Amino acid sequence: MKRKAIYPGSFDPPTNGHLDLIERGSKLFDELVVGVLSNPEKDPLFSVADRRKMLEAMTVDFDNVTVDTFDGLTVDYALRVGASAVLRGIRAISDYEYELQMALMNRKLQPGLETVFMMPAEKYSYLSSRLVREIAQLGGSIDCLVPSLVAQKLREKLDVAHKFADADAREREASGQDTPERKTKPRRKKS
């Protein structure tokens, strides 16, 4: 019987740590499906379609890895695609509590589904999508943290965001409007 696993996550954006785990998972399982969670509540930086495209490009060399999107429960998704395991990465002890809780809850929901934890290479143990987003937004270098195509996409995305912000500011200035901060009514001095 073929061993098939899903690797679910937000991947906003995918990092070198994710890629490291995908590579390890692809060696352990016959088939690995990277499942990008479509969760509109999270207000992601990248659309699900963009994240899927980036992951597809990153995993093009792995014959047994596919990329997909899903919504709803991870356990239901695993069942739908015929996977018997959920792959998750643990970087540090701080990840453990949340991951254990999720794994045990998934086991409660679907007892036949196993969670397999793998550790990425040590050099990625401090890496997270949230930090990558923050560093990129504040102008720091992310080149060693994400594949080059992701770095490029991040730069494009933030460039567009800056252009929109600049255009908004110019429009406000031209129309004589105050900046949003100054729109608030000045507080009356307490007498």
Catalytic residues: 18, 42, 91, 129
Rounded CA gap, 126 and 21, in Å? Answer: 14
Instruction: Confirm or reject binding of residue 105 to ligand PNS (CB under 6 A).
Output: yes
Query: Pick from 5, 6, 8, 146: which binds ligand PNS (CB under 6 A)?
Result: 8
When the beta carbons of 71 and 166 are compared against ligand PNS, the nearer one is 71
Q: Which span sits near ligand PNS by CB under 6 A: 53-61, 100-108, 140-148, 165-173?
A: 100-108
* CA–CA gap between residue 164 and residue 185 (Å, rounded): 26
* 118 lies in the binding site for ligand PNS (CB under 6 A): no
Rounded to a whole number of angstroms, the minimum distance from the CB of residue 36 to ligand PNS is 9
CA end-to-end distance (rounded Å), the chain? 80
Which of 5, 20, 106, 150 is close enough to bind ligand PNS by CB under 6 A? 106
Is 10 or 69 the residue whose CB approaches ligand PNS more closely?
Answer: 10
Stretch that binds ligand PNS, among 3-11, 22-30, 52-60, 138-146 (CB under 6 A): 3-11
Does residue 10 bind ligand PNS (CB under 6 A)? yes
Nearest to 37 by CA among 15, 4, 79, 68: 68
Q: Which single residue brings its beta carbon nearest to ligand PNS?
A: 9
> Residue 103, class by beta-carbon neighbours within 10 Å (0-12 exposed, 13-18 middle, 19+ buried)?
middle
Which C-beta is closer to ligand PNS: that of 39 or that of 64? Answer: 39
Q: Which residues pair with 37 in a beta bridge?
A: 70
Does residue number 9 form part of the binding site for ligand PNS (CB under 6 A)? yes
Does 102 help bind ligand PNS (rule: CB under 6 A)? Answer: yes
Q: Smallest distance, Å, CB 133 to ligand PNS?
A: 13
Binding site for ligand PNS (CB under 6 A): 8-10, 37, 73-74, 102, 105-106
